C-alpha cells in the first residue's frame, strides 16, 4: 500500500507561492490541502488556479480547523516569527521562506519555539538545491580539486525584480537580505562554516531604498577564503538572471561554473566541460526555471525528511549560521569593511 500523503497548509499566496504550489502538485508524498492569505483576492486566485477549496484568511483558524502535518509559510519576513510560533504552539511542522528573520533574536526564538514543541523546522533556503550548485558540490565531494583554498560565488544582474516583488524597492535593506542570503548560504554549502566576514555595500539605483551591490569576503573554518559578490545594478551584454556563477581553486585543479550552466573542471592537467542545466519543469518559465526547479527539489527533500524523521539540510538551526552572516555583513559594511568574528553569533 502506498504511504499516506502528508497534508500541508500554505500560508501566503503571493508572487512566489505559485512556484511552491506548482512544485507541491508534483511531489508524490505530500499535498497542499488548505490555503491561507489575508488578501481574499490572492486567496481566490490561487484556489482557482490550483483547485484547492479549503480557504482561510486567518492562519490560526486554518490550524484550528484542518488536520495538517505541516505548514509552508510563504509570506514576507515581518510575519515569519508570529506564524512560526503559532504553528509550533499547535505542534505542526514548519517550512518558512527566507529571509527567515529580521533579527538574529527572532531567528533564535523561532528555532527555540520549534525545538521546545518538538516540531521540525526547515527554512526554504533553496538556492543550494539548484542542480548546477549540487553538481559543483559533487565535484568537491569527489575530491577532484584537492584542497580548496579559494572560491567565488557571484550573482550579477540588472533584471527588474521590483515589478514582481515591489517591497524589494522600499525596504531599508535590500540585496544582502534578499539575494546575498542565498549566495552566502551557497558559500557555506560549498566551503564550510565561516569565522570572519567583511563587506562593502553600495546603492547604485537611486529609485530604490536599500543597497543593490555588495562585495563580501569570507574566511572559512577550513582555511579557505571566498568572495561573495552580488549586484542588481550590473548591465551585462547577456543578462544572466538568476544564474549564480562559481569559481573554485584547489591544490589539484580548478572549477568554473560559467554562464548558461556550463561547468569546466580542470584537474590533474585534464579539462572536462559539463552542461549542468537545470530541468525545465512543464510549469516553469525561463529564466526562472533554475529557481523553480530548486523549489521542487527542496520540497521533495522536506517530504523525505519529514517521513523519515531526519533533520532537513537547511533546518532552522542551520539557517542561524547563514542569518548570522547576513547581519554581520551589514555590520561590517556600516563599519567600513571591519572584519566581524561570526563564530559566537549563531
Ligand atoms: P508577496 O507579498 O507577493 O506575497 C506574500 C503574501 O502573503 C501576500 O499575498 C500577503 O497577503 C500574504 N500574507 C502576509 N502576511 C500574512 C498572514 N499573516 N497571513 C496570511 N497571509 C499573509 O511576497 P512574495 O514575493 O511572494 O515573497 C514571499 C517570500 O518569499 C519573501 O520572504 C521572499 O523573500 C521569498 N522569496 C523567495 C524566493 C526564493 O527563491 N526562495 C524567491 C522570491 C521570493
Ligand atoms: O527574492 C529573491 C530570491 O529569493 O530569489 C530571487 C529573488 O526573487 C529576487 O532577488
**197 and 264 part of one domain:** yes
Query: Ligand 2: which residue has its CA nearest to atom 10?
Result: 179
Residue entry with cell 505530500: 30
* Cell numbers at 238, concatenated: 547577456
As a whole number of angstroms, the distance between CA 67 and CA 72 comes to: 14
**83 and 137 part of one domain:** no
End position of a domain, from candidates 119, 139, 159: 119
CATH number at residue 221: 3.30.360.10
Domain containing 56 equals 6-119
Please check whether residue 135 lies inside any domain of the structure: yes
Q: Is the CB of 152 within 6 Å of ligand 1? A: no
CATH number at residue 84: 3.40.50.720
As a whole number of angstroms, the distance between CA 324 and CA 346 comes to: 6
Distances (CA, A) of 10 to 7, 33, 37: 10, 8, 9
**175 and 37 part of one domain:** no
Count of domains for the chain: 2
Let me know how many helices (H) and strands (E) the chain has, helices first. Answer: 10, 15
pLDDT the model gives residue 211: 98
User: For residue 236, how many other CB atoms are within 10 A of its CB?
Assistant: 12
**112 and 217 part of one domain:** no
For ligand 2, the distance from its centroid to the CA atom of residue 288, given in whole angstroms, is 10
End position of a domain, from candidates 61, 91, 119: 119
Please check whether residue 275 lies inside any domain of the structure: yes
pLDDT tens per residue across all 346 residues of the chain: 457 999 999 999 999 999 999 999 999 999 999 999 999 999 999 999 999 999 999 999 999 999 999 999 999 999 999 999 999 999 999 999 999 999 999 999 999 999 999 999 999 999 999 999 999 999 999 999 999 999 999 999 999 999 999 999 999 999 999 999 999 999 999 999 999 999 999 999 999 999 999 999 999 999 999 999 999 999 999 999 999 999 999 999 999 999 999 999 999 999 999 999 999 999 999 999 999 999 999 999 999 999 999 999 999 999 999 999 999 999 999 999 999 999 988 7
For ligand 2, the distance from its centroid to the CA atom of residue 87, given in whole angstroms, is 25
pLDDT the model gives residue 1: 47
Please check whether residue 159 lies inside any domain of the structure: yes
Handedness of CA 11, 14, 18, 20 (dihedral sign): negative
- Bond before 242 cis per omega within 30 degrees: yes
**205 and 332 part of one domain:** yes
pLDDT the model gives residue 344: 81
**15 and 97 part of one domain:** yes
Please check whether residue 45 lies inside any domain of the structure: yes
**261 and 279 part of one domain:** yes
Which of 13, 20, 37 has most ligand 1 atoms within 8 Å of CB, for mutation? Answer: 37
User: How does DSSP classify residue 36?
Assistant: E
DSSP string, 59-104: HHHHHHHS--SEEEE-S-GGGHHHHHHHHHHTT-EEEEESS--SSH
As a whole number of angstroms, the distance between CA 18 and CA 33 comes to: 15
In whole angstroms, how large is the CA radius of gyration of the chain?
Answer: 20
Please check whether residue 312 lies inside any domain of the structure: no
Please check whether residue 331 lies inside any domain of the structure: yes
- Say which ligand is closest to the CA of 102: 1
- Bond before 99 cis per omega within 30 degrees: yes
Q: What 3-state DSSP class applies to 164?
A: coil
Ligand 2 pocket list (CB less than 6 A): 161, 165, 178-179, 182, 242, 291
Please check whether residue 160 lies inside any domain of the structure: yes
pLDDT the model gives residue 45: 98
End position of a domain, from candidates 119, 153, 177: 119
Query: Ligand 2: which residue has its CA nearest to atom 1?
Result: 178
* Cell numbers at 111, concatenated: 528555532
**234 and 259 part of one domain:** yes
Q: Is the CB of 258 within 6 Å of ligand 1? A: no
Cβ–Cβ under 8 Å, residues 201 and 191: no
β-strand partners of 231: 156, 213
Atom of ligand 2 nearest to the CA of 291: 5
**39 and 147 part of one domain:** no
Q: Which of 199, 231, 238 is nearest to 212 (CA)?
A: 231
Atom of ligand 1 nearest to the CA of 16: 26
pLDDT the model gives residue 214: 99
Query: Ligand 2: which residue has its CA nearest to atom 9?
Result: 161
**49 and 144 part of one domain:** no
As a whole number of angstroms, the distance between CA 28 and CA 223 comes to: 42
Q: What 3-state DSSP class applies to 15?
A: coil
Atom of ligand 1 nearest to the CA of 165: 25
Q: Are strands 6-11 and 30-36 parallel, antiparallel or unpaired?
A: parallel
- Say which ligand is closest to the CA of 97: 1
**203 and 334 part of one domain:** yes
Please check whether residue 317 lies inside any domain of the structure: no
Q: Is the CB of 59 within 6 Å of ligand 1? A: yes
**113 and 141 part of one domain:** no
Cβ–Cβ under 8 Å, residues 214 and 175: yes
Amino acid at each position: 500500500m502506498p504511504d499516506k500523503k502528508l497534508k500541508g497548509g500554505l500560508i501566503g499566496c503571493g508572487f512566489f507561492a505559485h512556484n511552491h504550489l506548482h512544485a507541491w502538485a508534483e511531489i508524490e508524498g505530500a499535498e497542499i490541502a488548505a490555503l491561507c492569505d489575508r488578501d481574499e483576492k490572492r486567496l481566490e486566485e490561487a484556489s482557482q488556479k490550483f483547485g484547492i477549496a479549503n480557504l482561510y484568511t486567518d492562519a490560526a483558524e486554518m490550524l484550528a480547523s484542518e488536520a495538517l502535518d505541516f505548514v509552508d509559510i510563504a509570506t514576507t519576513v515581518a510575519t515569519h516569527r508570529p506564524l512560526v510560533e503559532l504553528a509550533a504552539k499547535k505542534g505542526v511542522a514548519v517550512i518558512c521562506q527566507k529571509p527567515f528573520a529580521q533579527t538574529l533574536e527572532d531567528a533564535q526564538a523561532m528555532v527555540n519555539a520549534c525545538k521546545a514543541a518538538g516540531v521540525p523546522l526547515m527554512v526554504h533556503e533553496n538556492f543550494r538545491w539548484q542542480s548546477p550548485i549540487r553538481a559543483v558540490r559533487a565535484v568537491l565531494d569527489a575530491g577532484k580539486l584537492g584542497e580548496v583554498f579559494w572560491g567565488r560565488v557571484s550573482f550579477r544582474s540588472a533584471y527588474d525584480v521590483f515589478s514582481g516583488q515591489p517591497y524589494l524597492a522600499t525596504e531599508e535593506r535590500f540585496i544582502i537580505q534578499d539575494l546575498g542570503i542565498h549566495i552566502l548560504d551557497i558559500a557555506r554549502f560549498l566551503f564550510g562554516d565561516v569565522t570572519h566576514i567583511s563587506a562593502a555595500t553600495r546603492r547604485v539605483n537611486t529609485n530604490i531604498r536599500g543597497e543593490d551591490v555588495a562585495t563580501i569576503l569570507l574566511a572559512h573554518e577550513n582555511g579557505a577564503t571566498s568572495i561573495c559578490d552580488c549586484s542588481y545594478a550590473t548591465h551585462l551584454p547577456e543578462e544572466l538572471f538568476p544564474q549564480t556563477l562559481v569559481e573554485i581553486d584547489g591544490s589539484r585543479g580548478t572549477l568554473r561554473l560559467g554562464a548558461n550552466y556550463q561547468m569546466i573542471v580542470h584537474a590533474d592537467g585534464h579539462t572536462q566541460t559539463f552542461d549542468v542545466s537545470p530541468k525545465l519543469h512543464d510549469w516553469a518559465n525561463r529564466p526562472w526555471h533554475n529557481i523553480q526547479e530548486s523549489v521542487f527539489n527542496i520540497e521533495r527533500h522536506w517530504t523525505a525528511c519529514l517521513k523519515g524523521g531526519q533533520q532537513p539540510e537547511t533546518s532552522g538551526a542551520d539557517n542561524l549560521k547563514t542569518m548570522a552572516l547576513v547581519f554581520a555583513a551589514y555590520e561590517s559594511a556600516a563599519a567600513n569593511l571591519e572584519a566581524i568574528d561570526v563564530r559566537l553569533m549563531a
